[in-house]
Structure 1
Amino acid sequence: MFKTLKNDIPASIIVFFVALPLCLGIALVSEAPPFAGLIAGIVGGVVVGSLSGSSLGVSGPAAGLAAIVAAAILKLGYENFLVAVVLAGIIQLVFGIIKAGVIGYYFPNSVIKGMLTGIGILIILKEIPHFFGYDKDPEGDWEFIQVDGENTLSEILSAVNHISPGATLVGIIALLILILWSTVLAKKSKIFQLIQGPLVAVVVGILLFNVFQGNNLLAIAPNHLVRVPVPEGIDSFLGQFSFPNFDALGNKEVYIVAFTIALVASLETLLSVEATDKIDPEKRVTPTNRELLAQGTGNIVSGLIGGLPITQVIVRSSANIQSNAKSKMSAILHGFLLLISVILIPKLLNMIPLSALAAVLFVVGYKLAKPSLFVTMWKAGRKQFLPFIVTIVLIVFKDLLWGIGVGLAIGVLIVLVKSYRNSHFLHKKESADHHHFTMRLAEEVTFFNKGAILRELESIPEHSFLELDVRGTKYLDNDIVEILEDFSYKAKARNIHIKLISEKGVVDNPDSYLAFFGVVSASGH
């Protein structure tokens, strides 16, 4: 890890600037203390980053859990809720031990690509109001229907009518710096590759905030800035920590909340792992069971000291990859930066305009949702494009879990339809005096194929000859065997002659398919 510090240190700074407002915003959306979000970010970086096998994944508080967390805090109270977070971590450890990490591999690539693209679009849409200095909705509120009662699109329309000139100017200058840095300067000298454009954009934003302070038109209001809690001393800082009330272990609601958090957090993590691995330039593969163990440990630690639940987060992971990080040292360092900054320089952090950070996230969002990807997925065919576009639409207009869930359901439905159609091959050869059919069954034929095979058999006319070829079939479901049994009975009445061809030989008009295929199964076919 230490060999790549020249890449990982600049990347960690960028991830820090992306994570800082999101930690605070997700805490606000979750009805939790702001410091709880920072704790989760620190633990996600330092603890989970150290234990994880993911080279580029970054963990912290997740927007996808915000609604669950807010409802749980309201029902249980914060100290009791922390008990549920600790228990959720223990459950995740169990998931890792029983090797449940394989679940993430069962999501189609089209859904994963749709998730990345949908999040990219959502990042851009959600940051437009902050870019123009309209910050009514907090950072980290990623659902279409927002906590302030507006939706994503109405928030953008409201922003157009409430533009803050100073914040907007900072956002425009920051965006120009980012574009110039990546398209021109980074290609001219190594110094521009070592010093990342987003860092320069944020520093310029701080300078402009101070310059604009004396100007009535361009002055940036405090609500357009990052807002980190500022402790007055050591006692004040330590007083921000909360601790779980383990007397709540007798409350069954705590266990329900714990299992819900563990399940949703694990699913979000596994999907983020899958997505992060796909956009990793070196195509490394994260050990998913180890990731669940790392996330479980992180949630135990976070819950014990007053933090929010943790997952691997695709927004931060994407920013990490796009900042040219090479190892997990970047994620670990970003956690230390969060810790050091909230202790030593909270006042400086509170000078960062949200519009400058919005410009950084615009670039992250665009790289996730490049227009060329839509063209690629369209050319891949309907079976790829349909789950892809449905996932995107539902993520943007509903939320992340709905998008992934429905996208997966459509992907499964397409597989079932394909399986229905590909169970067999039927060839028809006619002569003047009879109909000759050859039906060749696929390698695996299951109950999903019942309808297609039954339809074909019923379409065979009277006085026909049918060759049923099962030489290439390795697995034949009992449901299909029973269909063949029933058809054999009907075939006699319709004068249909059946010849069964298998690796064991040829059988004319078999009396019992169940008995025959029982012998075949015993031979390993």
Structure 2
Amino acid sequence: MIKQSIFSHPKNDFPAGLVVFLVALPLCLGIALASGAPLFSGLIAGIVGGIVVGSLSGSNVSVSGPAAGLTVIVLSAIESLGSFQAFLVAVTIAGAIQLLLGVLKAGIVSHYFPSSVIKGMLAAIGLILILKQIPHALGYDADFEGDDAFIQPDGENTFSELLNAIGALQPGAIIISVLALAVLILWDRPKLKEITFFKIVPGGLVAVALGIVLNQIYALVAPQMVLQKDHMVQLPVASDFSEFLGLFTTPDLSVITNPQVYIIALTIAIVASLETLLCIEATDKLDPQKRITSTNKELKAQGVGNILSGLIGGLPMTSVIVRSSANIDAGAKTKLSAIIHGVLLFITVIFIPNILNMIPLASLAAILLVVGYKLAKISLFKSMYSLGWDQFIPFAITVLAILFTDLLRGIGIGMVFSIFYILRNNYRTAFHYNSEDSEKGKRINIRLSEEMTFLNKGSMLVTLRDIPENSEVVIDGTHSKNIDHDVKEVIQNFLETAKHKNIKLTIKNIGQWKNHTAGL
């Protein structure tokens, strides 16, 4: 495949970068708020994730920024270290650990996530987006943007928040979200995509602009429907450049000898790396061009990003599936879109924060609802079901586990079920077994597979145990490239068993038994 320049598809990447910027803006702020950190720290992580990590990453379509999966860790870490400045030291060290992991090629771990679990993660994220954004679309904005956990910090959960939203409907927000959804659906019509205007101008931008205009119209004709500050994007606004510079924070290096800092740094590095690797694996599956990302390069990019983020006052970051999905859905072709989203975050925060604070969260909810639907289409569930239970059950368990816990716990539970089915299939397909009746008894041929590992020990034990007396048995390892010592030990023990059960045993091309016959 010919390597693409990041400037090879500007007509696709600029609109996609704009859509990702609109999605990322409230998520950066919401995650910072939930983490107990300064609001601007979320924006710093988004800017660094876009410009720095976007430039260094090997992925063409993934987008990095502050992650909801780290909010609990960040919140408790700030409390235990006593200050946000002390926490920034841990973020910087975490980045250095990630950089080291990339150098040590630890990214290979991502290749061991089963496809059923990754697809389950995508479907679960889609459902979570829908469930979490419905309250915002209805005008209930008590929950912070970017949350993906089932249990909320205030004791509520995903479903109780839906009930709370129904009891606190905002007609102004509902009208905005419904019309924004209509715009987004209209923009996806294939016939309209043939018109230049609809190609160049992203539907997400139109949906957001429509929300701003409608809220201004409410102020003129229906003041009771106006969406107030708590239903809008809330960027910190600096009155001058010196005040803007004051929003950046430097780490407190006096805590560098505190062992707790290193424990927190290691925790952040491990969790952030796992989330990144999961996201990269999922993003590669969503990429229409099916490009494969170097996970080791991604760990290095994330490491550099987190080092810089920690040094200038930002939250820790990961590659994030919601932003990456929105990026792909918006038509991104290269990593220029991720860089553009970071540049837009930086420019708009400096020059037009007041305009951004006019964006209703209901407009942004509509964008995320569409992204969620595309991740959790019914066709995905049907296609996984058609693959059989050994694929569908780990997929479904992963979806449910993520919905009712959080991303990493859900993935862990899904992995357990997937490994169970992998082991079960391995147990069943360790060898080819053929049995025929003869005058003297059974004639049994056991042809071992290419790889006979310790996982095959159990099936070999059961099969050899059940061979009847007076049989003729051939165990053939001709086609095996590797036979584990545990399997050879089972065969060795069966040599003794064969003598007592009057079994004629022939062993071909296995270890020391090149062509060994014993028994009758």
Normalization by structure 1: what TM-score? 0.95
Q: Paired residue for 1:506, among 504, 512, 515?
A: 515
SS at match of 2:508: strand
Q: Distance in 2 between matches of 1:6 and 1:467?
A: 66
In structure 1, distance between residues paired with 2:450 and 2:290: 32
Displacement of 1:184: 6.1
Structure 2 equivalent of residue 517 of structure 1:
none
In structure 2, C-alpha distance between the alignment counterparts of 1:469 and 1:57, rounded to whole Å: 48
Cα distance in 2 for residues equivalent to 1:489 and 1:293: 55
CA distance in 2, matches of 1:409, 1:348: 48
Match of 2:475 among 454, 464, 468: 468
CA RMSD of the aligned region, Å? Answer: 1.5
Amino acid at match of 1:392: V
Aligned residues: 511
- Secondary structure at the residue paired with 1:137? coil
- 1:457 paired residue number: 464
Q: 1:202: how far off? A: 0.3
Structure 2 Cα separation of the partners of residues 425 and 383 of structure 1:
21
C-alpha contact (below 8 Å) 1:133/1:163 kept by paired residues: yes
1: CA distance between counterparts of 2:383 and 2:316?
Answer: 36
- How far apart, CA to CA, are the structure 2 residues paired with 1:120 and 1:505? 56
Contact 2:440 2:470 in 1 (8 A): no
Percent identity over the alignment?
52
Give the SS at the match of 1:312: strand
Q: Which residue of 2 aligns with 1:134?
A: 140
Answering whether residue 380 of structure 2 is matched by residue 373 of structure 1, we say yes
| 2:440–2:471 CA contact under 8 A, matched in 1 | no
Q: Does 1:148 align with 2:154?
A: yes
* Structure 1 SS opposite 2:433: strand
> Unaligned regions of 5+ residues in structure 2, if any?
1-5
8 Å contact kept, 1:49–1:332: yes
Does the CA contact (< 8 Å) of 1:84 and 1:255 recur in 2? yes
Q: Deviations over 1:301-332 (max 9, x none)?
A: 00001100011111001111111111111111
Structure 1 residue 287 displacement after superposition: 1.5
* CA deviation map 1:58-114 (0-9, x unaligned): 110001111111111111121111000000000011011111111111111111111
Alpha-carbon offset, residue 502 of structure 1:
2.8
247, 251, 256: which one aligns with 1:244? 251
CA displacement at 1:217 relative to structure 2:
2.8
Matches for 1:220-235 after TM superposition, within 5 Å = 220-235=227-242
CA distance in 2, matches of 1:505, 1:354: 73
Question: Per the alignment, in what secondary structure is the counterpart of residue 3 of structure 1?
Answer: coil
Query: Unpaired segments of 5 or more residues in structure 1?
Result: 511-525
CA offset digits 1:354-384 (Å, max 9, x no partner): 0000001111111111111110000011111
Match of 1:9 in 2: 14
Give the residue type in structure 1 aligned to 2:253.
Answer: F
Counterpart amino acid of residue 135 in structure 1: D
Are 1:263 and 2:302 counterparts? no
1:34 and 2:39 equivalent? yes
Distance 1:459 1:13, change over 3 A: same
State the Cα distance separating 1:137 from its structure 2 match: 0.8
| Displacement after TM superposition at 1:505 (Å) | 5.5
Q: Distance in 1 between matches of 2:7 and 2:470?
A: 78
1:342-361 deviation digits (Å, cap 9, x = unpaired): 11111111110000000011
| C-alpha distance in 1 between matches for 2:185 and 2:498 | 73
Distance 2:68 2:296 in 1: 23
Instruction: Give 1:433 deviation, angstroms.
Output: 3.4
Shift of the alpha carbon at 1:488? 1.3
Match of 2:3 in 1: none
Q: Structure 1 residues 188, 437: CA separation in 2 closer, same or farther (over 3 Å shift)?
A: closer
**Distance between the aligned counterparts of 2:243 and 2:111, measured in 1?**
46
TM-superposed deviation, 1:128: 0.4
User: Is 1:66–2:75 an aligned residue pair?
Assistant: no
1:44 to 34, 49, 62: 49
Of residues 426-435 and 302-311 in structure 1, the stretch that sits farther from structure 2 once superposed is: 426-435
Q: Contact 1:185–1:192 at 8 Å: present in 2 too?
A: no
Is residue 141–residue 231 contact of structure 2 (8 Å, CA) maintained in 1? Answer: yes
Q: What is the deviation of 1:185?
A: 6.1
The question of whether the paired residues in 1 share the 8 Å contact of 2:250 and 2:312 is answered with: yes
Distance 2:32 2:449 in 1: 54
Q: Does 1:54 align with 2:59?
A: yes
2:141–2:230 CA contact under 8 A, matched in 1: yes
Contact 1:136-1:148 within 8 A present in 2 as well: no
Q: Is it true that 1:355 corresponds to 2:359 in the alignment?
A: no
Shift, 1:161, TM fit: 1.1
